[in-house]
Chains A and B, each alone.
Chain A
Amino acid sequence: MSQTKVAPDFLARSTSRKMKAFRLRKVLRWWPLLIILIALVAAAFPSVLAPYNPDLTNLAARLEGPGFRYGAQHFLLGTDSLGRDVLSRVIWGVRPSVVVAVVAVLVAGVSGSTLGIVAGTIEGGVGTIIMRFADMVLSIPFFLLAILVVAALGPSLVNVVVVLALVRWPIYARVAYGQSIEVSKRESVRSAIALGARQWRVMRYHILPEVLAPLIVVATLEVGSMIVYEAALSFIGLGTQPPAPSWGSMLSEGEQYVSTAWWISTFPGLALFVLALSVNRLGDLIRDVLDPKS
Chain B
Amino acid sequence: MNEAEGAGGSSLGDLPTNSGRQHLAARTGRVEVIEGKKPEDLVKVENLCKNYSLGGFRSKNRVLRAVSDVSFTISAGRTFGLVGETGSGKSTIGKLTLGLETPSWGRVMVAGNDLALLSKKELRDLRREMQPVSQDPYSALNGRMRVRDILGEPFIIHKTADKRELHSLVQDLLELVDLPKDAIDRFPHQFSGGQRQRLVIARAVALRPRFVVADEPLSALDVSVQAQIINLFKKLQREFNLTYLFISHDLSVVRYLSDVVGVMYLGRLVELGTRDDVFSDASHPYTQALLASAPAVGTKKLVEKRRLHLYGDPPAVLDGFSGCVFNSRCPIAESRCFEQTPEFRDLGENHMVACHFAPVSVDVLSKAVERRSAKAESQD
Contact = CB atoms under 8 A, between A and B. Distances in A.
Given A187-B134, A190-B100, A201-B157, A195 B127 contact: yes
B227 to A, nearest CB: 24
Interface residues of B, number: 25
Given A188-B140, A188-B142, A194 B157 contact: no
B125 interface: yes
B124 A194 contact: no
B136 interface: yes
Given A196-B158, A197-B157, A187 B127 contact: no
B210 interface: no
Contacts of B144: 209-210
Interface string B142-163: 1111000000011001100000
Contact of B98 (A194, A205, A210): A194
Nearest to A210: B144
A26 B158 CA distance: 48
Given A194-B100, A210-B144, A187 B136 contact: yes
Interface in B102-141: 123-125, 127-128, 131-132, 134-136, 139-141
B78 interface: no
B50 interface: no
B65 interface: no
Interface in B321-349: none
A191 B132 CA distance: 7
A187 B139 contact: yes
B130 to A, nearest CB: 8
Contacts of B125: 196
Interface string A83-114: 00000000000000000000000000000000
Interface string A173-190: 000000000000011111
A196 B124 contact: yes
Contacts of B127: 194-196
A41 interface: no
B203 interface: yes
Contacts of A195: 127, 131, 153-154, 157, 203
A191 B158 contact: no
Given A191-B134, A201-B157, A186 B124 contact: no
A194 B131 contact: yes
Nearest to A199: B120
A130 B14 CA distance: 53
A193 B100 contact: yes
A32 B134 CA distance: 46
A272 B135 CA distance: 54
Contacts of A210: 144
Contacts of B123: 196
Nearest to B213: A194
Interface centre among B98, B128, B142, B143 (most CB of A within 10 A): B142
Contacts of A194: 98, 100, 127, 131-132
Nearest to A186: B139
Contacts of B100: 190, 193-194
A193 B95 CA distance: 12
Contacts of A189: 142
B124 A198 contact: yes
A67 B142 CA distance: 61
6 contacts: A188-B140, A190-B100, A191-B141, A195-B131, A196-B127, A198-B124
Q: Would you list the 10 A-B pairs with minimal beta carbon distance, nearest first?
A: A196-B127, A196-B124, A187-B139, A188-B142, A187-B140, A194-B132, A197-B157, A209-B144, A187-B134, A195-B154
Interface of A: 186-198, 201, 205-206, 209-210
Given A194-B132, A196-B123, 9 more contacts: A186-B139, A187-B135, A188-B143, A191-B203, A193-B100, A194-B127, A195-B157, A196-B125, A196-B158
